[in-house]
Amino acid sequence: MKGKAVAALRRAIVMGLCTWLGTAAAQAPAARPWSDAALSPDARAKLLLAQLTQDEKFQLIRSYYAGPDRPPNKPFPQGAIESAGYVPAIARLGIPALEESDAGLGVASSDRMRPGDHATPLPAGPVTAASWDPQVAYRGGAMIGGEAHHKGFNVLLAGGINLMREPRNGRNFEYAGEDPLLAGSIVGEAIRGVQSAHVISTIKHFALNDQETARDTISAQIGEQAVRESDLLAFELAIERGQPGAVMCSYNKVNGDWACENDYLMNQVLKRDWGYPGFVMSDWGGVHSAAKAVNAGLDQESAGEIFDKEVYFDAPLREALATGEVKQSRIDDMVQRILRSMFAAGVFEHPARPAPIDEAANLAVARETLEAGAVLLRNEHELLPLDVDKLASLAVIGAHADKGVLAGGGSSLVTAKGGNAVPGLAPTGWPGPVMYHPYAPLKALRAMAPKADVQFAEGNDIAAAAALAARSQVAVVFVQKWAAESVDAPDLSLPDNQDALVAAVARANPRTIVVLENGGPVAMPWLDQVGAVLETWYPGGDAGTAMAHLLSGQVNPSGRLPLSWPRDLSQLPRKALPGAGGGTPPASVDYTIEGADVGYRWYQSRGLQPLFPFGYGLSYTRFQHGPLTLATHGGRLQATVEVSNTGSRAGADVAQVYVQVPGAKARRLAGYAKVFLKPGEHRVLTIPLERRLLADFDVARHGWVVRGGQYSVFEGRSSEQLGTPVQVQLPASTL
Ligand code: BGC
């Protein structure tokens, strides 16, 4: 009797502990068969789904906003970490809460949400893309995913991949440029990195949220073939490679239908054609209906109690279910998809809990990302690298380089350790604050050249800055252009009279180097007058050190542009961006103009020369590319090319392979490889070509079709610096 009572008591204590812990592992596997990690995520989700009540199902298909900026009548969701989103746990079954943080450049739910907290900021997305190195993307993803996990988050709203159709887009700094293959491979690897930390990553914003102006009213108009070969191809490739647990549908409409209730995008393309097994979550405020959205493929409404007109995935959805407008099987499918992604990422077995973070190691990842992705755009008379041993004096000018480096604004904004180095700049409210991360280039440049007299001028006083440049051996001018979510730039110009500043400094000292901190291409009317230009976008954590390494040659720049740099707005498919900077925006944006020919393909098809082409970037050494050869391997075309470092410094180059399909004016990037070579070293690179870039999407046949005929294959160092093409005859086929 006594023994039994003790056993019962022990059981009761264990059970209590289990409930308290609320983890799946806490109960014996027999009682929770879904906790058997040997089963597939789908099988586990199915077992668990069978245990859920209807109310529990409804609990999983919506999240709550967990930010501090909320109306008083909307209480903070109990148990949430202050962040972007929260789905409460179901302790009875050991289902953990979903704790969702922004975004793709680091854990953005720091400081702004939780004062005093900080995280490691990666450089802007185009920097990672400019590395043309999937391993760099993976490492960055793993770093931010690890930080998210160690801060208690198991969902990171990362994976931004909207193609750069619009250089003025305020969110280009969150994305990966203009090319489906490059963006798809880089973002796919970043997602794989995030999820390696047992954190579900999103991919976003699905789809065609390619400008911020009127993002929550505008309809992106485009034909089916064009969208499958451009924006959707980028998603398709990244989803294949990264297998994100969630897709975030976007604010805008696509061909008249809201993206978050778009049957074509979610049901037909994503789930049917691509066989996507994860769930679609809405963007915050992106839901406009219950039955229509659910039947079109939306699985989870995000923070509807704050951002949508009403919480559609509660009473309205229950009503639609009662009237038969929505089927129970669809509700079950929504839940199955959510649970499946949780199992697939390992969020049950590896609960996200606060844990110490190796900040030095993470900062090194950020620094190395910039070192791999900064693009040297100009270097006259080998002004760079600086010979720091011989440098007697250096003028450092502008962009608060004495304090830090600029970051882009909006939900992706990360607060680094030390906070905002330049507080108080307008706008201080959304989509601000304007933030400078405290990694001052000035300090790093002083450390780089300890013997030199390194002086700083703010740049507001142009005459003073020019005078400093005149009495210095070399001048480095930092220029900045802030960009942010929800607003586009009306034009490409630099603000705050910086063009006049650069021109005056360059007049005073032709040995002027410009370092750009910007979200997308900017006009550079002074380009011919300066000695060198280094593009760093928003350069992120430990940027000052990375910049010093790059300028001094300790690191050889190897970034290549993931985007075309227009000469001016007249070269763009849409010269005007109505509504940006004021005025009434139109109801739609016409992407049929360029269709699938985004970026360099547009320039090539129109015979236009951009200022800098896609794929372009200089190095401190010289590379030679041997002749291109082609072979078929397992039914796939493979390019082989030998790359040699014929200069005197170690460095990395990118072999870029472009295909011109019969009848096309433009070439398409179909494969690439980056290689690091010591002086005198050479390596043979074998580059598989992506079959969908050799094919067209045939709308009538509903699939990829290789038309057949003579294809020209080029290899080179940018989309415009190409070797002799090799002709290859391909038979017609379907993929
Ligand atoms: C943005 C998303 C972000 C979400 C949550 C939205 O405004 O478009 O990218 O993940 O907010 O903060």
| Per-residue pLDDT reduced to its tens digit, 13-31 | 333 333 334 444 444 456 8
Residue 337 Cα to ligand 1 middle (Å): 21
CA angle in degrees (0–180, nearest 5) for 187-193-195? 105
pLDDT in the model for residue 21: 40
Per-residue pLDDT tens for 663-721?
Answer: 999 999 999 999 999 999 999 999 999 999 999 999 999 999 999 999 999 999 999 99
Q: What would the DSSP string read from start to end of 264-283? A: IIIIIIIIIIS---SEEEE-
34: three-class secondary structure by DSSP? helix
Question: Residue 510: pLDDT band by 50, 70, 90 thresholds?
Answer: very high
Residue with tokens 């108080």: 424
Per-residue pLDDT tens for 400-429?
Answer: 999 999 999 999 999 999 999 999 999 999
Whether the CB of 84 sits within 6 Å of ligand 1 = yes
Look at residue 497 and tell me whether its pLDDT is greater than 50.
Answer: yes
pLDDT in the model for residue 70: 86
Describe the crossing of helices 359-373 and 543-552 by its angle, rounded to 10 degrees: 40
| Dist. CA 666–CA 644, nearest whole Å | 28
User: What is the number of other CB atoms lying within 10 angstroms of the CB of residue 445?
Assistant: 25
pLDDT in the model for residue 496: 98
Residues, the chain, total? 735
CA angle in degrees (0–180, nearest 5) for 112-113-116? 70
Q: Identify the burial level of 492 via C-beta atoms within 10 angstroms of its C-beta, where 0-12 means exposed, 13-18 middle and 19 or more buried.
A: buried
Q: Tell me the average pLDDT across 221-246.
A: 98
191: three-class secondary structure by DSSP? helix
Whether the CB of 102 sits within 6 Å of ligand 1 = yes
User: Boundaries of CATH 3.40.50.1700 in the chain?
Assistant: 372-571
pLDDT in the model for residue 30: 65
For residues 499, 500, 501, 505, the Cα torsion angle rounded to the nearest 10 degrees is: 110
Q: Tell me the average pLDDT across 571-591.
A: 96
Nearest atom (ligand 1) to Cα of 103: 10
Per-residue pLDDT tens for 609-653?
Answer: 999 999 999 999 999 999 999 999 888 999 999 999 999 999 999
721: three-class secondary structure by DSSP? coil
Query: Of 3.10.20.30, 3.40.50.1700, 3.40.50.2300, 3.30.70.1520, which CATH number belongs to 372-571?
Result: 3.40.50.1700
578 Rama class: left (phi>0) / alpha (psi -120 to 50) / beta: beta
Whether the CB of 411 sits within 6 Å of ligand 1 = yes
Q: What would the DSSP string read from start to end of 78-142? A: TTPPSSSEEE--BGGGTBPPEEEEE-TTS---SSSSSTT---PPPPPHHHHHHTT-HHHHHHHHH
User: Boundaries of CATH 3.20.20.300 in the chain?
Assistant: 51-345
- HSE at residue 551, side-chain half, CA atoms within 13 A, is 35
| Dist. CA 643–CA 459, nearest whole Å | 42
Whether 402 is catalytic: no
pLDDT in the model for residue 31: 85
Question: Residue 68: pLDDT band by 50, 70, 90 thresholds?
Answer: confident
Q: Are 462 and 397 in contact (CB under 8 A)?
A: no
Q: Could you say which DSSP state residue 517 is in?
A: E
pLDDT in the model for residue 111: 64
Question: Residue 10: pLDDT band by 50, 70, 90 thresholds?
Answer: very low
| Residue closest to 244 by CA, chosen among 171, 206, 194, 180 | 194
Cβ neighbours of residue 227 under 8 Å, at least 6 residues apart? 207, 208, 254, 591, 596
Q: Tell me the average pLDDT across 44-49.
A: 98
Percentage with pLDDT > 70 across the chain: 95
Q: Are 128 and 189 in contact (CB under 8 A)?
A: no
Whether the CB of 86 sits within 6 Å of ligand 1 = no
Domain 51-345 has CATH 3.40.50.300: no
Residue 170 Cα to ligand 1 middle (Å): 13
Homologous superfamily of domain range 622-734: Immunoglobulins (2.60.40.10)
Cβ neighbours of residue 427 under 8 Å, at least 6 residues apart? 433, 434
pLDDT in the model for residue 9: 35
Whether the CB of 283 sits within 6 Å of ligand 1 = yes
326: three-class secondary structure by DSSP? coil
Percentage with pLDDT > 90 across the chain: 93
Q: Whose CA is nearest to atom 6 of ligand 1?
A: 284
For the chain, how are helix, strand and coil distributed in percent, rounded to 5?
A: 30, 20, 50
Residue 272 Cα to ligand 1 middle (Å): 26
Q: Whose CA is nearest to atom 7 of ligand 1?
A: 284
Q: Tell me the average pLDDT across 49-76.
A: 94
pLDDT in the model for residue 207: 98
Nearest atom (ligand 1) to Cα of 209: 8
pLDDT in the model for residue 7: 33
Q: Tell me the average pLDDT across 314-329.
A: 98
Q: Which residues of 126-135 are buried (b: 16+ CB within 10 A; e: fewer)?
A: bbbbbbbbbe
User: Boundaries of CATH 2.60.40.10 in the chain?
Assistant: 622-734
Per-residue pLDDT tens for 149-205?
Answer: 999 999 999 999 999 999 999 999 999 999 999 999 999 999 999 999 999 999 999
Whether the CB of 109 sits within 6 Å of ligand 1 = no
Q: Tell me the average pLDDT across 333-356.
A: 97
Q: Whose CA is nearest to atom 8 of ligand 1?
A: 283
Mutate to test the pocket of ligand 1, among 69, 157, 175 (most ligand atoms within 8 A of CB): 157
Whether the CB of 535 sits within 6 Å of ligand 1 = no
Q: Whose CA is nearest to atom 3 of ligand 1?
A: 411
Q: What's at 652, amino acid-wise?
A: A
| pLDDT averaged over every residue in the chain | 95
State residue 199 phi and psi, 5-degree precision: -125, 125
Residue 4 Cα to ligand 1 middle (Å): 55
Q: Which of 222-226, 284-288, 582-586 has the lowest mean pLDDT?
A: 582-586
Strands 588-590 vs 623-625: parallel, antiparallel or unpaired: unpaired
Per-residue pLDDT tens for 281-314?
Answer: 999 999 999 999 999 999 999 999 999 999 999 9
542 Rama class: left (phi>0) / alpha (psi -120 to 50) / beta: left
Q: Which residues pair with 285 in a beta bridge?
A: none
Question: Residue 275: pLDDT band by 50, 70, 90 thresholds?
Answer: very high
| Residue closest to 191 by CA, chosen among 209, 204, 172 | 204
Q: Whose CA is nearest to atom 2 of ligand 1?
A: 283
Nearest atom (ligand 1) to Cα of 174: 9
Q: Are 442 and 208 in contact (CB under 8 A)?
A: no
Whether the CB of 158 sits within 6 Å of ligand 1 = no
Q: Whose CA is nearest to atom 5 of ligand 1?
A: 84
Residue 411 Cα to ligand 1 middle (Å): 6
Residue 285 Cα to ligand 1 middle (Å): 9
Which of 283, 299, 597, 653 does the annotation list as catalytic? Answer: 283
Q: Tell me the average pLDDT across 521-541.
A: 98
Question: Residue 112: pLDDT band by 50, 70, 90 thresholds?
Answer: low
Residue 249 is encoded by which pair of tokens? 């549908």
Question: Residue 110: pLDDT band by 50, 70, 90 thresholds?
Answer: low
Mutate to test the pocket of ligand 1, among 485, 486, 488 (most ligand atoms within 8 A of CB): 485
Look at residue 3 and tell me whether its pLDDT is greater than 70.
Answer: no
